[in-house]
């Protein structure tokens, strides 16, 4: 029996929050760490330009905080922003320092992109970043940004600025990494056996290895069974079928009406098709008839639900070209 829920903080949004919970250096993170350590060791012979790309919940913000923590420990000057800066004057207003002064020595600018971006602000930001490329102190300016892959794709349509960066795509965790993440949190509660091994495997299956989904599923289980000695596979599956999907959608979708539409899509997949739709077009027709959701919206919702880790899309049929949609 655990006394606290060590999974309560699952959406890491600020640096102080990041420092309260363990962060695991997975394979991709270790490569980033070695690269930056090499830059520091070589006295910043080349400026760093790095994009941390991935879907929402994959750990981009936490990875950016990990980099900041590493820079702080090495006494490397750095500035962390959770907004897009579009001018030297705005930099001065936020930091109370002049850009020309802070770039006289090697410095890192870390930017955690917001989920929603105004196009005009985005364009101004990209123009400002380009100005840093040609700044008189450009060799000292190191840039690391965390952003959704969709924002990167949008940027390419009207500027090649981000195309000058090295891209690191953060992948879903493996089953082994998922278990390590779960155990690191359970250690806070001093009971890594609170979830039995089969339960940890169930969490991996439901979460698809997406870090925020892993913590969210674990949080639901710990909250519900906090007075139990141990959570078993049967207990986990019973609860996650009811609570997990709703919590993931509430976390990922801000608009209430949109959340309802996502749930409508899932309702049709579960109740009309018993969790398995043998083609996209069958789902399109069913959603049009039941909830008047059009084809484009249906395909969008399915794509997003796949990114959330709730749906799986595989190739099926005799030609192996037909898309089969599976509900976890």
Give the confidence band of 317 by pLDDT, cuts at 50, 70, 90.
Answer: low
pLDDT band for position 320 (cuts 50, 70, 90): very low
CA–CA separation, 54 and 312 (whole Å)? 18
Extract long-range pairs of 19-22: CB within 8 Å, 24+ residues apart.
19/69, 21/185, 21/188, 22/184, 22/185, 22/187, 22/188
Residue 319 pLDDT exceeds 60: no
**Domain positions in the chain:** 27-169, 256-328
Domain 27-169 listed as CATH 3.40.50.300: yes
pTM for the whole thing? 0.82
Terminal-residue alpha carbon distance, the chain: 29
Task: Give pLDDT tens digits for 296-313.
Answer: 999 999 988 988 888 888
- 104-108, 293-297, 312-316: least confident range: 312-316
Question: CATH topology for 256-328?
Answer: Arc Repressor Mutant, subunit A (1.10.10)
Residue 203 or 115, more confident:
203
Task: Report which secondary-structure segment, H or E, holds 53.
Answer: strand 49-54
Contact 268, 287 (CB under 8 A): yes
Give the pLDDT confidence score for residue 35 in this predicted structure.
85
Mean pLDDT of 181-210: 95
Q: For residue 26, what is the DSSP state?
A: -
Q: Where are the beta strands (DSSP E) in 93-204?
A: 107-112, 141-148, 166-169
Mean pLDDT score, 273-289: 92
Average pLDDT over residues 27-39: 86
pLDDT in tens, 161-188: 999 999 999 999 999 999 999 999 999 9
Q: pLDDT of 228-251, one tens digit each?
A: 999 999 999 988 877 778 888 888
């Amino acid at each position: 029996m655990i006394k606290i829920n060590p999974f309560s903080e699952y959406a890491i949004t600020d640096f102080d929050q990041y420092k309260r919970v363990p962060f695991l250096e997975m394979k991709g993170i270790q490569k980033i760490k070695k690269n930056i350590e090499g830059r520091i060791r070589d006295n910043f012979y080349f400026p760093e330009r790095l994009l941390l790309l991935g879907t929402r919940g994959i750990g981009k913000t936490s990875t950016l905080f990990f980099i900041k923590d590493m820079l702080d420990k090495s006494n490397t000057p750095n500035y962390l922003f959770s907004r897009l800066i579009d001018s030297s004057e705005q930099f001065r207003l936020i930091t109370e320092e002049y850009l020309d002064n802070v770039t006289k020595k090697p410095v890192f600018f870390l930017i955690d992109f917001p989920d929603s971006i105004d196009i005009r602000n985005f364009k101004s930001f990209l123009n400002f970043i380009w100005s840093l490329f040609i700044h008189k102190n450009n060799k000292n300016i190191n840039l690391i940004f965390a952003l959704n892959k969709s924002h990167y794709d949008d940027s390419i349509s009207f500027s090649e600025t981000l195309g000058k960066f090295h891209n690191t795509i953060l992948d879903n965790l493996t089953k082994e990494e998922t278990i390590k993440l779960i155990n690191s949190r359970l250690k806070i509660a001093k009971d890594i056996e609170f979830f039995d091994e089969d339960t940890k495997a169930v969490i991996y299956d439901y979460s698809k290895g997406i870090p925020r989904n892993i913590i969210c599923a674990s949080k639901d289980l710990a909250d519900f069974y906090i007075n139990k000695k141990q959570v078993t596979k049967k207990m986990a599956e019973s609860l996650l079928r009811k609570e997990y999907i709703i919590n993931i959608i509430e976390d990922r979708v801000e608009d209430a009406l949109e959340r309802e539409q996502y749930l409508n899509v899932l309702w049709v997949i579960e109740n009309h098709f018993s969790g398995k739709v043998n083609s996209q077009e069958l789902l399109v027709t069913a959603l049009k008839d039941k909830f008047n959701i059009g084809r484009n919206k249906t395909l969008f919702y399915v794509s997003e639900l796949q990114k959330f880790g709730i749906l799986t899309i595989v190739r099926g049929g005799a030609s192996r070209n037909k898309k089969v949609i599976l509900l976890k």
